[in-house]
C-alpha cells in the first residue's frame, strides 16, 4: 500500500509531465521553455552527480572517523574552521556535493558548527568560482568579499552550532 506522501509526489510529477507534454503538443511557449530548462538542468546534473557520488563514497570509505574527529571534531578548536574552509574551497559541484559531504562529516564526528562553516564556505569560496569572479570583478573585490564573508560565516556557524548544541540537537539517520 502506498503512503500518502508517495501518492502526492507521484501525482505532482505526473501533473508536471502532462503539462510539459501538453505544452509541446499545443505549442505553448512558456511550458516548452520550462521543459527545456528542466531538461538542460537535468543534463547538467547527470554530468556532475555520478562522479561526485563516487568521490563521496570513496570519502566515506577512505577517511577514518578518528581523522575527522581529530581535525574537525569537538576538540579541533579554531583549526577545524580553517580546515573546513580549505576543504570547501576545493569542492566542485556546489551545494549538490557539499550537503552529502556534510552529512558524512557529521556521521564521522565533526562538530556541528564546523559543518555549518563548511556548508557556508562551499557556497561562497570554491576555487573555480573565485577565479571566475576575480577575472570579472577584480582581485580587490574578491579579497574584500572573502574578508567580510568568511568571518561572518564562522561567527554565524558558531552561534547556530551552540544554539543547537544547547538543545541537544541530533540529526535523524535515514540512511
For 27-77, the pLDDT digits (tens) are 999 999 999 999 999 998 888 888 888 888 898 899 899 999 999 999 998
The number of angstroms, rounded, from the C-alpha of 131 to the middle of its chain's C-alpha atoms is 20
**Residues 6 or more apart whose Cβ sits within 8 Å of residue 164:** 112
pLDDT at 174 over 90: no
What is the phi/psi pair of residue 38, to 5°?
Answer: -65, -45
pLDDT at 173 over 70: no
Give the Å distances, CA to CA, from 109 to 7, 70, 104, 112, 162. 36, 9, 9, 9, 16
pLDDT at 172 over 80: no
pLDDT in tens, 126-148: 888 888 899 999 999 999 999 99
pLDDT at 103 over 80: yes
Amino acid at each position: 500500500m502506498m503512503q500518502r506522501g508517495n501518492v502526492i509526489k507521484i501525482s505532482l510529477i505526473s501533473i508536471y509531465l502532462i503539462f510539459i507534454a501538453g505544452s509541446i503538443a499545443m505549442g505553448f511557449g512558456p511550458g516548452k521553455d520550462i521543459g527545456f530548462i528542466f531538461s538542460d538542468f537535468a543534463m547538467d546534473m547527470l554530468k556532475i552527480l555520478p562522479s561526485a557520488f563516487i568521490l563521496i563514497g570513496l570519502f566515506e570509505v577512505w577517511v577514518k572517523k578518528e581523522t575527522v574527529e581529530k581535525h574537525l571534531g569537538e576538540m579541533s578548536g579554531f583549526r577545524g574552521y580553517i580546515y573546513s574552509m580549505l576543504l570547501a574551497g576545493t569542492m566542485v559541484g556546489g551545494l549538490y556535493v557539499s550537503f552529502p559531504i556534510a552529512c558524512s562529516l557529521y556521521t564521522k564526528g565533526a562538530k556541528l558548527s564546523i559543518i555549518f562553516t563548511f556548508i557556508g564556505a562551499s557556497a561562497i569560496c570554491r576555487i573555480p568560482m573565485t577565479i571566475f569572479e576575480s577575472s570579472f570583478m577584480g582581485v580587490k573585490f574578491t579579497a574584500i568579499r572573502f574578508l567580510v564573508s568568511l568571518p561572518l560565516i564562522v561567527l554565524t556557524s558558531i552561534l547556530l552550532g551552540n544554539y543547537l548544541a544547547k538543545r541537544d540537537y541530533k540529526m535523524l539517520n535515514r540512511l
